[in-house]
Amino acid sequence: MSSYALITGASRGIGRSLAQLLAQKQYNLLLVSRSESELQALAATLASQYKVSVHYLAADLTAPGAAQQAYDWCIQHKWDISLLINNAGYGIWGYFDELSLDEQRNMLQLNMQAPVELTYYMIPLLKQQPQAYILNVSSTAAYQAVPGMTLYAASKSFMLGFTRGLRHELKRTHISVSCLCPGPVNTNFLERAGMQDIKTIKAAAEKYGMHPDQVAKVALKGLFAKKAEIIPGALNVLSAIGTRLLPKALIEHIAAGLYKDK
Protein backbone atom coordinates (compact mmCIF):
# COMPACT_ATOMS: atom_id res chain seq x y z
CA MET A 1 0.00 0.00 0.00
CA SER A 2 1.55 3.28 -1.12
CA SER A 3 -0.87 5.74 0.50
CA TYR A 4 -0.34 7.42 3.84
CA ALA A 5 -2.24 7.61 7.11
CA LEU A 6 -1.93 10.91 8.97
CA ILE A 7 -2.24 10.56 12.75
CA THR A 8 -2.29 13.41 15.27
CA GLY A 9 -1.24 12.78 18.86
CA ALA A 10 0.82 9.92 17.46
CA SER A 11 3.69 9.78 19.94
CA ARG A 12 1.82 8.22 22.87
CA GLY A 13 -1.23 6.24 23.94
CA ILE A 14 -3.90 5.34 21.41
CA GLY A 15 -2.21 7.32 18.64
CA ARG A 16 1.02 5.37 19.03
CA SER A 17 -0.86 2.05 19.05
CA LEU A 18 -2.79 3.04 15.92
CA ALA A 19 0.46 3.95 14.18
CA GLN A 20 1.98 0.57 14.96
CA LEU A 21 -1.07 -1.40 13.81
CA LEU A 22 -1.31 0.60 10.59
CA ALA A 23 2.39 0.04 9.92
CA GLN A 24 1.73 -3.68 10.31
CA LYS A 25 -0.95 -3.30 7.63
CA GLN A 26 1.69 -1.64 5.41
CA TYR A 27 0.31 1.86 5.62
CA ASN A 28 2.90 4.56 5.20
CA LEU A 29 2.65 7.02 8.08
CA LEU A 30 2.61 10.75 8.74
CA LEU A 31 2.93 11.32 12.48
CA VAL A 32 2.06 14.64 14.12
CA SER A 33 2.63 15.49 17.78
CA ARG A 34 4.41 17.99 20.02
CA SER A 35 7.35 15.82 21.09
CA GLU A 36 9.97 15.71 18.35
CA SER A 37 12.23 13.28 20.21
CA GLU A 38 9.43 10.76 20.74
CA LEU A 39 8.24 11.12 17.15
CA GLN A 40 11.74 10.63 15.82
CA ALA A 41 12.26 7.46 17.84
CA LEU A 42 8.86 6.04 16.89
CA ALA A 43 9.31 6.84 13.21
CA ALA A 44 12.69 5.12 13.12
CA THR A 45 11.34 2.03 14.91
CA LEU A 46 8.27 1.61 12.69
CA ALA A 47 10.16 2.25 9.46
CA SER A 48 12.80 -0.31 10.38
CA GLN A 49 10.44 -2.96 11.74
CA TYR A 50 7.72 -2.84 9.08
CA LYS A 51 9.58 -1.46 6.05
CA VAL A 52 7.15 1.41 5.53
CA SER A 53 7.74 5.09 4.89
CA VAL A 54 7.33 7.17 8.05
CA HIS A 55 7.58 10.95 8.31
CA TYR A 56 6.87 13.16 11.29
CA LEU A 57 6.02 16.75 12.08
CA ALA A 58 6.60 18.21 15.53
CA ALA A 59 3.76 20.71 15.93
CA ASP A 60 1.67 22.08 18.78
CA LEU A 61 -1.91 21.77 17.54
CA THR A 62 -3.14 24.14 20.25
CA ALA A 63 -1.39 26.93 18.35
CA PRO A 64 -3.44 28.86 15.77
CA GLY A 65 -2.43 27.87 12.25
CA ALA A 66 -1.03 24.48 13.24
CA ALA A 67 -3.56 22.56 11.13
CA GLN A 68 -2.65 24.72 8.14
CA GLN A 69 1.01 23.93 8.85
CA ALA A 70 0.31 20.19 8.78
CA TYR A 71 -1.66 20.53 5.54
CA ASP A 72 1.08 22.61 3.88
CA TRP A 73 3.59 19.95 4.94
CA CYS A 74 1.55 17.29 3.14
CA ILE A 75 1.07 19.42 0.03
CA GLN A 76 4.76 20.27 -0.15
CA HIS A 77 5.70 16.59 -0.28
CA LYS A 78 2.77 15.55 -2.51
CA TRP A 79 1.84 12.58 -0.34
CA ASP A 80 -1.21 10.50 -1.26
CA ILE A 81 -3.29 10.38 1.92
CA SER A 82 -6.14 7.91 2.34
CA LEU A 83 -6.63 7.99 6.11
CA LEU A 84 -6.88 10.87 8.58
CA ILE A 85 -6.97 10.14 12.32
CA ASN A 86 -7.78 13.09 14.57
CA ASN A 87 -6.55 11.60 17.82
CA ALA A 88 -4.82 14.44 19.69
CA GLY A 89 -6.70 15.70 22.73
CA TYR A 90 -6.73 15.95 26.51
CA GLY A 91 -8.95 16.76 29.46
CA ILE A 92 -8.81 19.08 32.45
CA TRP A 93 -10.42 18.27 35.78
CA GLY A 94 -12.00 21.03 37.86
CA TYR A 95 -14.94 23.41 37.97
CA PHE A 96 -15.32 25.64 34.92
CA ASP A 97 -15.21 28.94 36.82
CA GLU A 98 -12.19 27.89 38.89
CA LEU A 99 -9.93 26.79 36.04
CA SER A 100 -7.75 29.06 33.94
CA LEU A 101 -9.60 30.35 30.90
CA ASP A 102 -6.43 30.12 28.80
CA GLU A 103 -5.90 26.48 29.75
CA GLN A 104 -9.49 25.64 28.87
CA ARG A 105 -9.23 27.56 25.61
CA ASN A 106 -6.14 25.54 24.65
CA MET A 107 -7.99 22.30 25.39
CA LEU A 108 -10.91 23.34 23.20
CA GLN A 109 -8.50 24.34 20.44
CA LEU A 110 -6.90 20.88 20.47
CA ASN A 111 -10.07 18.85 21.03
CA MET A 112 -12.30 20.65 18.52
CA GLN A 113 -10.84 23.45 16.45
CA ALA A 114 -7.67 21.67 15.30
CA PRO A 115 -9.44 18.50 14.09
CA VAL A 116 -12.17 20.54 12.38
CA GLU A 117 -9.58 22.64 10.54
CA LEU A 118 -7.38 19.66 9.64
CA THR A 119 -10.39 17.70 8.38
CA TYR A 120 -11.47 20.66 6.24
CA TYR A 121 -8.02 20.94 4.68
CA MET A 122 -7.61 17.20 4.13
CA ILE A 123 -10.99 16.31 2.56
CA PRO A 124 -9.93 17.44 -0.95
CA LEU A 125 -6.86 15.18 -0.69
CA LEU A 126 -8.91 12.27 0.62
CA LYS A 127 -11.38 12.67 -2.25
CA GLN A 128 -8.56 11.93 -4.68
CA GLN A 129 -8.32 8.35 -3.34
CA PRO A 130 -10.49 5.44 -4.50
CA GLN A 131 -11.27 4.74 -0.83
CA ALA A 132 -10.49 6.97 2.13
CA TYR A 133 -11.29 7.15 5.83
CA ILE A 134 -11.55 9.70 8.63
CA LEU A 135 -11.42 8.59 12.27
CA ASN A 136 -12.25 11.16 14.93
CA VAL A 137 -11.37 10.15 18.48
CA SER A 138 -14.02 11.15 21.00
CA SER A 139 -14.87 9.44 24.31
CA THR A 140 -17.74 7.79 26.16
CA ALA A 141 -17.84 11.16 27.95
CA ALA A 142 -19.53 12.39 24.77
CA TYR A 143 -22.78 10.69 25.76
CA GLN A 144 -23.52 12.76 28.86
CA ALA A 145 -22.59 15.93 30.71
CA VAL A 146 -19.73 15.36 33.17
CA PRO A 147 -19.68 17.89 36.05
CA GLY A 148 -16.06 18.40 37.03
CA MET A 149 -14.98 17.92 33.41
CA THR A 150 -17.69 20.00 31.82
CA LEU A 151 -15.82 21.42 28.84
CA TYR A 152 -13.95 18.18 28.12
CA ALA A 153 -17.20 16.21 27.88
CA ALA A 154 -18.79 18.99 25.81
CA SER A 155 -15.84 18.98 23.40
CA LYS A 156 -16.12 15.22 22.95
CA SER A 157 -19.88 15.52 22.40
CA PHE A 158 -19.09 18.09 19.73
CA MET A 159 -16.71 15.68 18.01
CA LEU A 160 -19.34 12.94 18.01
CA GLY A 161 -21.95 15.24 16.49
CA PHE A 162 -19.44 16.64 14.00
CA THR A 163 -18.49 13.12 12.90
CA ARG A 164 -22.06 11.94 12.40
CA GLY A 165 -23.04 15.04 10.44
CA LEU A 166 -19.93 14.90 8.27
CA ARG A 167 -20.47 11.18 7.68
CA HIS A 168 -23.90 11.93 6.24
CA GLU A 169 -22.61 14.80 4.10
CA LEU A 170 -19.87 12.61 2.60
CA LYS A 171 -21.95 9.46 2.12
CA ARG A 172 -21.96 9.89 -1.67
CA THR A 173 -18.16 10.12 -1.78
CA HIS A 174 -15.50 7.47 -1.23
CA ILE A 175 -14.74 8.85 2.25
CA SER A 176 -16.04 6.88 5.23
CA VAL A 177 -16.19 8.82 8.52
CA SER A 178 -16.17 7.11 11.93
CA CYS A 179 -16.00 8.18 15.56
CA LEU A 180 -14.06 6.25 18.21
CA CYS A 181 -15.52 6.59 21.72
CA PRO A 182 -13.31 4.75 24.21
CA GLY A 183 -13.89 4.57 27.95
CA PRO A 184 -10.98 4.52 30.42
CA VAL A 185 -7.67 3.78 28.70
CA ASN A 186 -4.36 3.11 30.42
CA THR A 187 -2.51 6.21 29.23
CA ASN A 188 -1.27 9.36 30.97
CA PHE A 189 -4.75 10.95 30.63
CA LEU A 190 -5.39 11.10 34.40
CA GLU A 191 -2.06 12.77 35.10
CA ARG A 192 -2.51 15.28 32.28
CA ALA A 193 -6.00 16.10 33.55
CA GLY A 194 -4.83 16.45 37.17
CA MET A 195 -7.03 13.55 38.30
CA GLN A 196 -4.41 11.11 39.58
CA ASP A 197 -5.47 11.66 43.21
CA ILE A 198 -9.22 11.10 42.71
CA LYS A 199 -9.60 7.69 44.31
CA THR A 200 -12.84 6.67 42.58
CA ILE A 201 -11.55 7.50 39.13
CA LYS A 202 -8.13 5.99 39.72
CA ALA A 203 -9.68 2.75 40.99
CA ALA A 204 -12.06 2.55 38.03
CA ALA A 205 -9.22 3.18 35.58
CA GLU A 206 -7.08 0.47 37.17
CA LYS A 207 -9.95 -2.03 37.16
CA TYR A 208 -11.65 -1.27 33.86
CA GLY A 209 -9.07 0.65 31.83
CA MET A 210 -8.20 -0.87 28.46
CA HIS A 211 -4.71 -1.04 27.00
CA PRO A 212 -4.19 1.35 24.07
CA ASP A 213 -3.36 -1.60 21.81
CA GLN A 214 -6.77 -3.14 22.55
CA VAL A 215 -8.54 0.11 21.76
CA ALA A 216 -6.55 0.60 18.56
CA LYS A 217 -7.37 -2.92 17.34
CA VAL A 218 -11.11 -2.41 17.86
CA ALA A 219 -10.87 1.07 16.33
CA LEU A 220 -9.32 -0.09 13.07
CA LYS A 221 -11.68 -3.03 12.76
CA GLY A 222 -14.66 -0.71 13.10
CA LEU A 223 -13.11 1.95 10.87
CA PHE A 224 -12.50 -0.40 7.94
CA ALA A 225 -15.98 -1.89 8.46
CA LYS A 226 -17.23 1.71 7.99
CA LYS A 227 -19.04 1.89 11.33
CA ALA A 228 -20.40 5.26 12.42
CA GLU A 229 -19.53 4.86 16.11
CA ILE A 230 -16.95 2.55 17.62
CA ILE A 231 -17.10 1.87 21.37
CA PRO A 232 -14.41 -0.55 22.57
CA GLY A 233 -15.32 -2.84 25.49
CA ALA A 234 -18.66 -4.40 26.44
CA LEU A 235 -18.97 -2.36 29.65
CA ASN A 236 -18.45 0.86 27.75
CA VAL A 237 -21.13 -0.13 25.25
CA LEU A 238 -23.55 -0.80 28.11
CA SER A 239 -22.62 2.50 29.72
CA ALA A 240 -23.33 4.39 26.50
CA ILE A 241 -26.70 2.64 26.16
CA GLY A 242 -27.50 3.50 29.79
CA THR A 243 -26.95 7.19 29.17
CA ARG A 244 -29.63 7.07 26.48
CA LEU A 245 -32.18 5.23 28.61
CA LEU A 246 -31.74 6.74 32.07
CA PRO A 247 -32.80 10.29 33.06
CA LYS A 248 -30.10 12.85 32.30
CA ALA A 249 -30.30 14.31 35.81
CA LEU A 250 -29.50 10.89 37.31
CA ILE A 251 -26.58 10.32 34.95
CA GLU A 252 -25.18 13.77 35.76
CA HIS A 253 -25.57 13.15 39.49
CA ILE A 254 -23.63 9.89 39.22
CA ALA A 255 -20.91 11.51 37.09
CA ALA A 256 -20.60 14.40 39.55
CA GLY A 257 -20.07 11.91 42.35
CA LEU A 258 -17.32 10.11 40.45
CA TYR A 259 -15.45 13.29 39.53
CA LYS A 260 -15.87 15.05 42.83
CA ASP A 261 -13.00 16.40 44.90
CA LYS A 262 -10.48 13.76 46.11
- State the Cα–Cα distance between residues 199 and 95, nearest whole angstrom: 18
Read off the pTM.
0.88
pLDDT of residue 137: 98
The domain 4-258 is placed in CATH, from the list 3.40.50.11810, 3.40.50.720, 3.40.50.150, 3.40.50.300, at 3.40.50.720
Instruction: Say which residues have a Cβ less than 8 Å from residue 219's Cβ, sequence separation at least 6.
Output: 14, 18, 135, 180, 182, 230, 232
Q: How confident is the model at residue 33 (pLDDT cuts 50, 70, 90)?
A: very high
- State the Cα–Cα distance between residues 66 and 222, nearest whole angstrom: 29
Whether the predicted pLDDT of 257 surpasses 70: no
Angle at 133 between CA 132 and CA 137, to 5 degrees: 165
pLDDT tens digits along 144-196: 999 999 999 999 999 999 999 999 999 999 999 999 999 988 866 655 555 54
Q: Is 97 left (phi over 0), alpha (psi -120 to 50) or beta?
A: alpha
pLDDT of residue 243: 72
Instruction: Say which residues have a Cβ less than 8 Å from residue 224's Cβ, sequence separation at least 6.
Output: 133
- State the Cα–Cα distance between residues 231 and 243, nearest whole angstrom: 14
pLDDT of residue 262: 45
Q: How confident is the model at residue 245 (pLDDT cuts 50, 70, 90)?
A: low
Q: Which of 249, 255, 231 is nearest to 241 (CA)?
A: 231
- Residue count of the chain, please give it: 262
Angle at 72 between CA 31 and CA 128, to 5 degrees: 85
Lowest mean pLDDT among 22-31, 73-82, 204-213: 204-213
pLDDT of residue 252: 65
